[in-house]
Structure 1
Amino acid sequence: MIVGYIIVGSFLGMFAFAAAWLLGASMWIGLASYAAVGSLTVFGLAGIRLVLGMQEKEEILDRPEQTAVPAQAKPTAQTAQSSMRILAVDDDPFILELLPMITAKNGFTQVTSAASGASALSILTDDPAFDCLLVDISMPGMDGIELCRHIRALEAYRTTPIIMLTGMRDLKNMGDAFRAGATDYATKPFDIKELGTRLRLAQDEVTQARLNTSILKPGHMRHEKVFSLPENLHLDGDDNLVDRAMLVNYLTRIDARETASIEVFALRTEPMDKIYAHASPQEFAEFLSDVAGAAGTQFTDEHTLMAYAENGDLLIVTQSGNRSDQIAKDRTATERKIEQAVSLWLPVFEARGLPQITVAIGGPVRPNAERAQRAVVAFGNAIVLAEHRGSGKDGWGPSLRISV
């Protein structure tokens, strides 16, 4: 910015010198005009920017925080928003100064700043009471992805919402962040409404966690769906396996032009319902992990993310052409490789009277629907294709490629 001021000042100074020369002034007067006009321009522009910047900050800070809650709202929601503590981690001092203003505009005023990953870890170790973390993905030394891994290793922050701040939205970088434990991301330059939406989603998670904790009585377990992801699956399972909400966030947030390079598959394993019914929780988690690991070897790990749907189907989001074309052409061979990889479970399940394990792959589906429905439609169609293929594997026709 300062270089720009100097360039403008030099240009106007030269203009003043030329004008003085044409009016018959001496060279010394011309040079004095050049120096005076150039200097005044540089300092004047810097002063104007400083004043406007101060006014902008005052406007942001003076705007009323939109934290009003209707009278009928539950007090727990009010408490959750007013008490949600945020730690912002970024090596850019300007970003650290800007973030509290943006969060305050969205109703979140308790923000602590850290200028490095090491500083953030020190703060988190000493104070295990932050409810949400904003982490820059690109920092010198310890970057945001490495920091995310360290944060997830802290018992108090194993499930805390982590929003990555990034200007990179490709599958590799976002995949690295999600695999490290990030739950969402916000893009730079910041959009106030977008970041506010991300924070409110994090707030909903915090609120729900507090409500669950408050109503959970000793000796009672929270109700879980039949195929809810086991808690230890992310720790012991394949590195490409993330939570389904993360895949939804990724597909929902990318630009429409970026969806052309993304393909979605679904992998159905049968008989999943019987496996769940006859396996212990630990066995079920290990089996799901093995299936995901076997599927991951068929795709390039660097450009693939996977998540389990609630019905036990494995959702796979991968880069177009990333072995996906070969898999689509000869999915029978891919299915057999996955079945062979998990065949070590056959003696266990056969001893319990379960039929042979079979795998069916549906897709690829391109996520070209409207942004709000993109993930739901793509996942739904991939699952339908997997179900269709699994129901008639002996006589299935040509592979289908769907664009929705």
Structure 2
Amino acid sequence: MRVLIVDDDPSILHVLQTALAAIDNYSVAVAACADSALDMIEGAETSFDCFLLDIQMPETDGIVLLRKIRRMPDYSETPIIMLTAMSERNYIDDAFIAGATDYITKPFDLMDLRGRMNAARRLVKEKLRTEETKRAVTILKQELQKNTQFNFDDPLVIEGADRHLRFMQFNNYIDQLSRGQIFKSHCLAILLQDAQTLYDVTDCGYFRHVVNETALCLQSATSDLDCMFSYRGSGLFLVIVHDDESLRAFPTEEKLNHYVQAMLGERGSADSWVQALVGKPFSMRSLSRSGIDAAINRAVDSVQQREIIFRQGDTRPVDDPTDAGTQRGTHTRRRIYERVLMELYGEESYLNLK
């Protein structure tokens, strides 16, 4: 596997060259700055398979270099691991938003480096298989592939949302939060209500469309907030909110559904009855990954309980007390919602869900 390391510190370059030689038989090239790295990439007869980029470099920093590499068609999916001695979260966020695959903090731990390089190697093998497939298809075929079959629990790729992280990127991002001890972060889950039924009775292209549009709505509704999110499959989104101010300003279930219904309902169809359910936020204050995983699991349990309550006819957000008149209004809206769902899915399918 051909690896290019970019760092302005010669000692770091030497350490990494030595470490990679000890780990496996990597073909390693080094560059001391972004400009040299770009010259090497453009002049390479054989493409690089993986990059290790230092974030803090003079003139052109690693994040700018990362963006330039990602704009190259040959490197849009290549594993890129960021290197830095800094623990400030804003650098981590910027790196992942720009397209980083993973993140290593100096000083390096050999076992940690080995694990992340092995993960990168698996991505390279998958990338090679994907490229072989792409060579055999036309532009029309690529467009049609968007509607190919996939499983309900597959973590779909979201298009057009720069604060959305893919499945593996999100897991790596969570790992970094754990190591950085980001005590002010909270996790909450958002679930498309009746997602399984929607998947079962519509084609995959339509379900993908609903998921993607919901992700764009979530990005729009949180554009001024400090948060990241990921679609995990099964109609479920996980959101990491990084400070108390953003948590207080996070859109309510009602507000988020205004976005969803406005975007999906533009055609005047039953799309506007797609509902996004918002669970309770849970603090990720923990020194361990297991503690963070527990917070994530509680967030998922919360929104799943929210769905059960919703099916029972109570459409109020969690912990949202209302008077009797408003409760009667929500039950009326629920009956209308049920009627639209039965028209869309068929009475038998919807009654089986209930």
Q: What TM bracket, shorter-length normalisation?
A: 0.7 to 0.9
> Which of 123, 128, 136 is residue 205 of structure 1 equivalent to?
123
The equivalent residue for 2:298 is: 381
Q: CA–CA distance in 1 between the matches of 2:119 and 2:172? A: 11
Query: In structure 2, do the counterparts of structure 1 residues 296 and 187 end up closer, same or farther at CA, with 3 Å as the change threshold?
Result: same
Q: CA–CA distance in 2 between the matches of 1:155 and 1:215? A: 16
3-state SS, counterpart of residue 233 of structure 2: coil
Query: In structure 2, do the counterparts of structure 1 residues 217 and 296 end up closer, same or farther at CA, with 3 Å as the change threshold?
Result: closer
> Which of 134, 143, 146 is residue 52 of structure 2 equivalent to?
134
The equivalent residue for 2:41 is: 124
Letter in 2 for 1:185: Y
Letter in 2 for 1:130: F
The equivalent residue for 1:305 is: 228
Query: In structure 2, do the counterparts of structure 1 residues 248 and 375 end up closer, same or farther at CA, with 3 Å as the change threshold?
Result: farther
Q: CA–CA distance in 1 between the matches of 2:135 and 2:150? A: 15
Q: CA–CA distance in 1 between the matches of 2:212 and 2:133? A: 31
Give 1:306 shift: 0.9
Residues 168 and 174, structure 1, Cα contact 8 Å, conserved in 2: no
3-state SS, counterpart of residue 319 of structure 2: coil
> Which of 65, 73, 77 is residue 147 of structure 1 equivalent to?
65
Residues 74-97 of structure 1 show CA distances to partners (whole Å, capped at 9, x for unaligned) of: xxxxxxxxxx11110112222222
> Which of 243, 255, 265 is residue 188 of structure 2 equivalent to?
265
Q: CA–CA distance in 1 between the matches of 2:10 and 2:180? A: 33
2:191 pairs with 1:191: no
TM-score, normalised to structure 1's length?
Answer: 0.66
Residues 294 and 338, structure 1, Cα contact 8 Å, conserved in 2: yes
Long gaps (5+) in structure 2: 321-354
Give 1:396 shift: 6.0
Q: CA–CA distance in 1 between the matches of 2:265 and 2:75? A: 39
Residues 262 and 272, structure 2, Cα contact 8 Å, conserved in 1: no
Letter in 1 for 2:47: A
Seq. identity, %:
27
Letter in 2 for 1:278: T
Give 1:265 shift: 1.1
Q: How does 1:307-326 map to 2 (within 5 A)?
A: 307-326=230-249
Give 1:307 shift: 0.8
Residues 300 and 322, structure 1, Cα contact 8 Å, conserved in 2: no
Residues 149 and 204, structure 2, Cα contact 8 Å, conserved in 1: no
| Structure number, greater radius of gyration | 1
> Which of 93, 103, 115 is residue 32 of structure 2 equivalent to?
115
Residues 300 and 323, structure 1, Cα contact 8 Å, conserved in 2: no
Residues 217 and 263, structure 2, Cα contact 8 Å, conserved in 1: no
2:207 pairs with 1:278: no
The equivalent residue for 1:169 is: 87
Residues 279 and 303, structure 2, Cα contact 8 Å, conserved in 1: yes
3-state SS, counterpart of residue 317 of structure 1: strand
The equivalent residue for 1:398 is: 319
3-state SS, counterpart of residue 342 of structure 1: helix
Q: CA–CA distance in 1 between the matches of 2:61 and 2:89? A: 18
Give 1:285 shift: 5.2
Give 1:210 shift: 4.1
Residues 300-332 of structure 1 show CA distances to partners (whole Å, capped at 9, x for unaligned) of: 6563111110212111112130321354xxxxx
Q: CA–CA distance in 1 between the matches of 2:285 and 2:25? A: 34
The equivalent residue for 2:100 is: 182
Letter in 1 for 2:14: E
Residues 367 and 374, structure 1, Cα contact 8 Å, conserved in 2: yes
Long gaps (5+) in structure 1: 1-83, 328-332, 400-404
Give 1:375 shift: 5.1
Residues 214-272 of structure 1 show CA distances to partners (whole Å, capped at 9, x for unaligned) of: 799968989743354554x3xx4222111122222222244567242211111112343
Residues 200-223 of structure 1 show CA distances to partners (whole Å, capped at 9, x for unaligned) of: 111122234446667999689897
Q: CA–CA distance in 2 between the matches of 1:114 and 1:325? A: 45
Q: CA–CA distance in 2 between the matches of 1:303 and 1:347? A: 28
Structure scoring higher RCO (CA < 8 A, sep ≥ 6) equals 2
Give 1:290 shift: 3.7
> Which of 276, 279, 291 is residue 214 of structure 2 equivalent to?
291
Aligned length: 306
Residues 169 and 254, structure 1, Cα contact 8 Å, conserved in 2: no
Q: CA–CA distance in 2 between the matches of 1:342 and 1:382? A: 21
TM-score, normalised to structure 2's length?
Answer: 0.74
Query: In structure 2, do the counterparts of structure 1 residues 171 and 287 end up closer, same or farther at CA, with 3 Å as the change threshold?
Result: farther
Q: CA–CA distance in 2 between the matches of 1:143 and 1:113? A: 16
3-state SS, counterpart of residue 388 of structure 1: helix
Q: CA–CA distance in 2 between the matches of 1:203 and 1:307? A: 23
Give 1:284 shift: 5.3
